[in-house]
Structures are given as structure tokens and as C-alpha cells.
Amino acid sequence: MSIQQATRGYALKRGEGKAVWLLNGLLTWKATGKDTGGAWELVEQLCPRGFAPPIHTHSREAEAFYVLDGDLTVVLGEEMVPASPGSFIYVPGDTKHSFVVESPVARFLSFAMPANLEAFLDELSVPAQVRALPTQPLPLDPQRFDAVAKKYGQKSWGPPPAPRT
């Protein structure tokens, strides 16, 4: 892919795009900052029950989620928002947020505007060997997460939320 895509366009099919494993989830990049001239980015996430990042804020971008399959609970400021297929959640910059997968598996889209999350997630993930959930979860070192988050204008505010019982 080249920067030409920002003006000429491109198409990806199901299962196409750069794929990485983060924790115990599969993230597939559908649009990167390079593809959109830095305006926005889009990643499809496939995650099992319990997948959750620490509660955090972004100072450089806003984020949004659109649930395709499964159920999430989204931390949005001080609220806990249930999100099922068809749900859309917008998170303005500097808003405390996180999410946790409640169903056995969930598939959802994450948008970032402007494009700033790819480099952050690349530092915490590994290239996916297959387009499936990893068989062994990647451990999350909270100190490493915090250091990488700070580098990209993010701040951690608390541990990841747990799924409801």
C-alpha cells in the first residue's frame, strides 16, 4: 500500500490487512494513517471474553467503537455502557475509557481520529502467525504499557475492567 491510497482508494476483503496479536486478541488493520493521509485509522478487533485494556485517556486522538458481533461493556468516563451488535460509542480525546468483552468472543471496529494508535499498538503487539486468536495470551506488563502509552500521549488511570459475572 502507498500514500496514493489516500487519494485513489483501495479495497480489502475479509481477512486482509496487517494482523497483529495483542494480549489474547487479533487486531487487523483495515486503514492506517499512511492509507488516509493521517486523518484516521480503523482496526477490526476479534477478542475473547475478558479482553480489556487498562482504563486510559488519549491526549492526541478521539476514538470510537462499533460492535459487529458479541457484547462489550465500555467504560466511558464514569459510566459503564453495555454495547451489543450495532452499538456505536464515541470517546472524545482526554476521556477516561476502556472496554471488556462480555461474550465468549466479540468482533468490533475501533476508529481513531487523527491516526495515532497504530504505532502505539505495534509496540505492544506481535505479528499474527495466523488470522485467529492466539493460542497463548501475550502477557501485559503494566509498567511497559504505561511507558509506551506515555510516549504516545496516553495515560493509564486504572486496571482493566473485569467482565460481569
* Position 141 in a domain: yes
**Tell me, what DSSP letter sits at residue 6?**
H
Q: Tell me the C-alpha distance between 109 and 16, whole Å.
A: 14
Tell whether 163 is covered by a domain: no
Whether residue 2 has pLDDT greater than 90: no
pLDDT computed for residue 128 by the predictor: 96
Q: Is residue 136 part of a domain?
A: yes
pLDDT in tens, 27-76: 999 999 999 999 999 999 999 999 999 999 999 999 999 999 999 999 99
* Overall average pLDDT of the 10-34 stretch: 95
Per-residue confidence band for 153, with pLDDT thresholds at 50, 70 and 90: very high
Tell me how many domains the chain contains. 1
Q: Is pLDDT of 4 > 70? A: no
| 164 within domain boundaries | no
Q: Sheet harboring 154-158: ordered strands across?
A: 79-83, 72-76, 97-101, 55-58, 154-158
Is residue 14 domain-resident? Answer: yes
DSSP string, 79-132: EEEEE-TT-EEEE-TT--EEEEE-SSEEEEEEEEESS-HHHHHHHH-EE-SSSS
| 165 lies in some domain | no
What pTM, to 2 d.p., does this model score? 0.92
The CATH number of whichever domain residue 44 belongs to comes to 2.60.120.10
- Owning domain of residue 146: 5-158
Q: Given pLDDT bands bounded at 50, 70 and 90, which one contains residue 1?
A: very low
Q: Is residue 113 part of a domain?
A: yes
**pLDDT per residue as tens digits for the range 88-146:** 999 999 999 999 999 999 999 999 999 999 999 999 999 999 999 999 888 878 888 88
In whole angstroms, what separates CA 62 from the centre of its chain?
A: 12
Position 21 in a domain: yes
- Mean residue pLDDT of the chain comes to 93
pLDDT of residue 73: 98
